[in-house]
Structure 1
Amino acid sequence: MSGARGAWWARIPEPVLDAVVVVVAVVDVLINLDDTSGPAWAMATLACAALIVRRRFPLPVFLLTLPASLMLDIVFAPFAALFTLSERSRDRRLLVTCALLFAVASATPWPLDDLSSHERAWTLVYFFYTLATAAAPVLLGQLVQARRDLARRLVEIEEAREHERLLHSQAVLARERAQLAREMHDVVSHQVSLIAVQAGALQVAAKDPDFREGARTIRSLSVDTLDELRHMVTLLRASGGRSTELTPQPTLADLHKLVTTSGIDAELTGELPPDVSSTAQRTIYRTVQEALTNVRKHAPGATATAHLWHDGDAFGVTVTNTPPARPSLPLPGSRQGLIGLKERAELLDGTFASGPTGDGGYEVRLRIPNRAG
């Protein structure tokens, strides 16, 4: 994307570029104006003026250039309109139709009259020549559109990689904290406990008051140190346990923050009963988290809805996303995330299903029976 922004033409203000396009179109019209009738003048003026709003209304502006193409031998105004339409439209059939319309308008003689067989043959030849020429703005517009989509997708991929690197560093830090907590609990705490026990025994057995006071001080300091160690171990485990590497014991209360910070246009609807078990809450949280991650990776520009539901027999969540708003790159995926969600659901005697929807989107559905909640 940096390359697209760094191109010199991308730094030209749009009003200046529009003015240049209109001026060139006017010059093209003036060059091809001889003894032209009033309607031809009017159509040429309308075609040149319409180019000012070609970015907002590309298809109507292109259609407005066709009468001028029929009456005059001009190419720049319809080409500029056709390029803008090709840059913004993803409908290939529409672009082919517009190219055919331009070729027909340019090849048809004006004023319309009876043609000899020789002139009809040359008209047909000119039609195919013009049609081949019209392919240039169409292909160039599609190339610019694909380049813009690719640049945007590369930025999204880089953001996703940065997010993954952050999560990986957090996971590594969490494992180190968990290992440190185990070492402190198994080794250091054990040794300090032995010191406290031995100091207590010396305090009881000592005859000398000074010696007894020294043993009491050692025992007191050892007990205080044990309390500090236990507090530190608790803190390390809270931030480094396996179940809390990314989000410490996520619950339904954390779903709203997960949805709003997912990086996509998503919303959370519905609610669940208040007596859902903590295990089921974590499973629902991980399901929504994995589904939103997949939307971000594989459906750029799509919107998503996470709907919490419950009935008499079961409860769960359904995450649905719309079709992608722009093409996505074919990224490799192991589908281990969906397999893990299915295994989580089976541990609760539930079911997990995922698949495409009828409108081109995707749906993930988790169902957990009430007896497991």
Structure 2
Amino acid sequence: MTVRPWLRAHWVAVDVTIAVLFALLDTATTLIGASWWPERPGPLAWTLLGVQALACLSLAFRRRAPLTVVAVLGLFTLAVTLLISPAAALTPEHPGNIWAPLATALAAYGPIFYGKDRRTACLALALFTVIAARAWQPSLTSIGIGVSRTAVGPLLALYSDARRRLVCALTERAERAERERHLLAERARTEERARLAGEMHDVVTHRVSLMVLQAGALRMTAPDETTRQAAEELRAAGCQALEELRDLVGILRTAPEGDATPSVAGLAALAAESAAVGTPVELVEEGDRAFASPVVGRIAYRTVREALTNVRKHAPGSRVMVRVAYDENRLRLTVRNTPPTGRANSGLVSTGSGLGIAGLRRRIGIVDGTLSAGPTPDGGFSVEATLPAYIPTAMAEAAVRS
């Protein structure tokens, strides 16, 4: 699995880790005098240091409640500023520093990127900037550093949002172009089928019609009964050939129907069918079925069906575990059976072609998937397949045809 999908799948752990790192970073920078830390810290300073760490830990909620995180850090910064001046309860060692924690830079990113109301986010960030820059105590250093600290996050958020929208638009355009190309190719094939059907109908029908007419004439003019009987049989065969040709031309002129194989929604029915004939099946599905495209779902269904058929043939009395895991990038499928408790029926085993797994491996390989099948250490058998969640239209067409 690549790094980005892993981060998306474990975003809670990632956000908590980032929040802890910022809490440690801000604590360290405060203690070395890069912020509001006094030369002789007292109980108030140590209390504020703990409150600052808690405020930084609020970054763990920056996706779900970005405005709340900004409010927490803004209120802390305002409280420190008021305690320094005008309350004079705290005297920093370096009065020219910025009191806002470094976590404010990341907090300012959230309202623009994750928030739904862009206007409210801008107002909140403007107020946040005024507090961080101490606009009521104007100085070039405080205003410059304060504004830059709260502006970098929104600018990065705007860039990331614009890039995400552009990628989505380009992806949608590419998929639309691919669908249009597929439809044009399908239309060309349909027109070619109709043309060939028409030509075959015109040529073959003309010749066979002549044969039928000549056979009919021969039946009427033949001098003996044997010849008349043979001519009648020839005429009847020609008429039947015309009827069959008409049906065949109708089939050629009709667009082929799509693959009617059920998708992953039919896995439960497969499990129930196997249980009904004496092969208990436990089906476990993880994730959202919507991640699997229809073609991938049909391939997964075929894989499970073939595996369960082989279990019934070769491993009577065994129990089967079917596990399907869906995510944004791939579908993982495992069918594993326990060792058989009875002997396989030779008559039932001989009914198969022996090419089921090979055919599945070829079909799965077309869509850049993998299939492995083999015995397990406990004497059972396992079939494992990994399929991409989405495949391009051309590749899907090849998989359906195979």
Identify the TM-score tier after normalising by the shorter chain: 0.5 to 0.7
| AA of the residue aligned to 1:26 | A
- Deviation, structure 1 residue 133: 3.6
> What secondary structure sits across from 2:16 in the alignment?
helix
1:101 corresponding residue in structure 2:
127
**Aligned ranges for residues 352-367 of structure 1 at < 5 Å?**
none
- Whether 2:63 is the aligned partner of 1:55: answer yes
| AA of the residue aligned to 1:65 | L
- Deviation, structure 1 residue 42: 6.1
- Deviation, structure 1 residue 143: 2.0
1:16 corresponding residue in structure 2:
13
- Deviation, structure 1 residue 228: 0.7
- Whether 2:104 is the aligned partner of 1:78: answer yes
- Tell whether the 8 Å contact from 2:111 to 2:118 is kept in structure 1 after alignment: no
1:177 corresponding residue in structure 2:
193
Match of 1:232 among 230, 236, 248: 248
How many residues end up aligned between the 2 structures?
Answer: 230
Q: How far apart, CA to CA, are the structure 2 residues paired with 1:214 and 1:176?
A: 39
1:132 corresponding residue in structure 2:
148
Q: How far apart, CA to CA, are the structure 1 residues paired with 2:20 and 2:54?
A: 13
Query: Percent identical across equivalent pairs?
Result: 31
Q: How far apart, CA to CA, are the structure 2 residues paired with 1:9 and 1:239?
A: 43
**Aligned ranges for residues 191-340 of structure 1 at < 5 Å?**
191-239=207-255
Q: 1:215 to 1:41 in 2, by over 3 A?
A: same
- Tell whether the 8 Å contact from 2:110 to 2:157 is kept in structure 1 after alignment: yes
Q: How far apart, CA to CA, are the structure 2 residues paired with 1:138 and 1:165?
A: 40
Q: How far apart, CA to CA, are the structure 2 residues paired with 1:93 and 1:153?
A: 24
| AA of the residue aligned to 2:197 | A
Q: How far apart, CA to CA, are the structure 2 residues paired with 1:205 and 1:68?
A: 114
Q: How far apart, CA to CA, are the structure 2 residues paired with 1:157 and 1:187?
A: 45
**Aligned ranges for residues 34-45 of structure 1 at < 5 Å?**
34=38, 35=41, 37=44, 40-41=48-49, 43-45=51-53
Q: How far apart, CA to CA, are the structure 1 residues paired with 2:253 and 2:145?
A: 75
Q: 1:42 to 1:23 in 2, by over 3 A?
A: closer
String of CA shifts for 1:67-115, please: whole Å, max 9, x gaps. Answer: 2233272432222211122221365544443333232212229xxxxx9
| AA of the residue aligned to 2:21 | V
- Tell whether the 8 Å contact from 1:62 to 1:81 is kept in structure 2 after alignment: yes
Q: How far apart, CA to CA, are the structure 1 residues paired with 2:122 and 2:73?
A: 16
Q: 1:81 to 1:237 in 2, by over 3 A?
A: same
Q: TM-score, normalised by structure 1?
A: 0.53
Match of 2:167 among 144, 151, 156: 151
- Tell whether the 8 Å contact from 2:133 to 2:147 is kept in structure 1 after alignment: no
| AA of the residue aligned to 1:62 | V
Q: How far apart, CA to CA, are the structure 1 residues paired with 2:117 and 2:169?
A: 20
Q: How far apart, CA to CA, are the structure 1 residues paired with 2:6 and 2:253?
A: 56
- Deviation, structure 1 residue 50: 1.8
Unaligned runs of 5+ in 1: 110-114, 247-262, 264-373
String of CA shifts for 1:286-322, please: whole Å, max 9, x gaps. Answer: xxxxxxxxxxxxxxxxxxxxxxxxxxxxxxxxxxxxx
Q: How far apart, CA to CA, are the structure 2 residues paired with 1:14 and 1:144?
A: 17
> What secondary structure sits across from 1:62 in the alignment?
helix
- Tell whether the 8 Å contact from 1:83 to 1:141 is kept in structure 2 after alignment: yes
CA RMSD of aligned residues (A): 3.4
Q: How far apart, CA to CA, are the structure 1 residues paired with 2:53 and 2:161?
A: 29
- Deviation, structure 1 residue 229: 1.4
- Deviation, structure 1 residue 59: 0.8
- Tell whether the 8 Å contact from 2:23 to 2:57 is kept in structure 1 after alignment: no
1:370 corresponding residue in structure 2:
none
2:75 corresponding residue in structure 1:
67
Q: How far apart, CA to CA, are the structure 1 residues paired with 2:209 and 2:221?
A: 19
> What secondary structure sits across from 1:207 in the alignment?
coil
- Deviation, structure 1 residue 200: 0.8
- Deviation, structure 1 residue 64: 0.9
- Whether 2:205 is the aligned partner of 1:189: answer yes
Match of 2:115 among 77, 89, 101: 89
- Deviation, structure 1 residue 11: 6.2
Moved more, 69-78 or 52-61: 69-78
Q: 1:10 to 1:151 in 2, by over 3 A?
A: farther
